[in-house]
Amino acid sequence: MLVSLYSASTGMIAQQRRLDTISNNLSNVDTTGYKAQRIEFQDLLYTPIKEAGTPTAQNSVLPTGEYVGHGVKIGATNRIFTQGNIEQTGGTFDMAIMGDGFFQVQLQDGRIAYSRDGSFKVDSNGRLVNSQGLLFVPNITLPTNAESVNVSPDGIVSAKLPDGTIQNVGNITLVKFVNPAGLKAIGSNLFLSTPASGVATEGIPNQDGFGSIEQGSLEKSNVDVVKEMVNMIVAQRTYDLNARAVQTADDFLRTVGTLKR
């Protein structure tokens, strides 16, 4: 009976974690470049009562065994890097990646972070930065007298000067990973590489499998609201069933405890 109490309690914990993940996805529906997470479950160890293949008295073996499971655990929280919807904003420094790749920014401690959030700005020195003021990598500095800025699909940044000339001010590069799901999320729409993600491979947009850049647009979250709402209902129902199993097992134990009276 104690096994049923434990198994059902692990189910309640697992569904609570699932609800936490769903809630985080829903709260980031409007977060630029956000990638939805999906929780994955694994069953726990089993206690064998009878092992499959045990010899019998009839010179045969048991075709199946008898095992008691001990519940469920969280196997992983996987991040889904599918393309989000593209929203046209008209912003000069808004950029969306159409396909594979990440933008690069430099953290204050010198490390390089990666992001799908292309809502960039220009600081007081004319340098391209993100919303937190982190420098874009590679460094791109715009002329102070630039009348307009154009970013081509292959990442060439050019500025139109007052005399009508076009000046090339830099080239945007993207990076990609063998296993982007292994990246470490640190908040603010940023990721760090890990041994699981592999080393960043840098390349030119719109070439060699890298996505192209669409200026004046942003990639929205890839969260499917309808799917998340369905998952929320399933998680709630499953949590209730596990809670009922705990209550039922407790009733059984209470009944056994009264047998001596």
Where in the chain are the domains? Answer: 2-81+223-257, 86-219
Q: Which runs of consecutive H residues, i.e. helices, occur in 28-78?
A: none
Strand (E) positions, the chain? Answer: 37-43, 46-50, 66-69, 72-79, 86-88, 95-98, 103-106, 112-115, 121-122, 128-129, 135-137, 148-151, 156-160, 166-171, 174-176, 184-187, 190-192, 201-203, 212-215, 217-219
**Which pLDDT does position 161 carry in this prediction?**
93
- 48 or 117: which leads in pLDDT: 117
Q: Could you tell me which residues are beta bridge partners of residue 78? A: 38
pLDDT in tens, 191-242: 999 999 999 999 999 999 999 999 999 999 999 999 999 999 999 999 999 9
Token pair for residue 2? Answer: 């104690």
CB 184 within 8 A of CB 194: yes
CB 134 within 8 A of CB 106: yes
Confidence of residue 117 (pLDDT cuts 50, 70, 90): very high
Token pair for residue 186? Answer: 């640190």
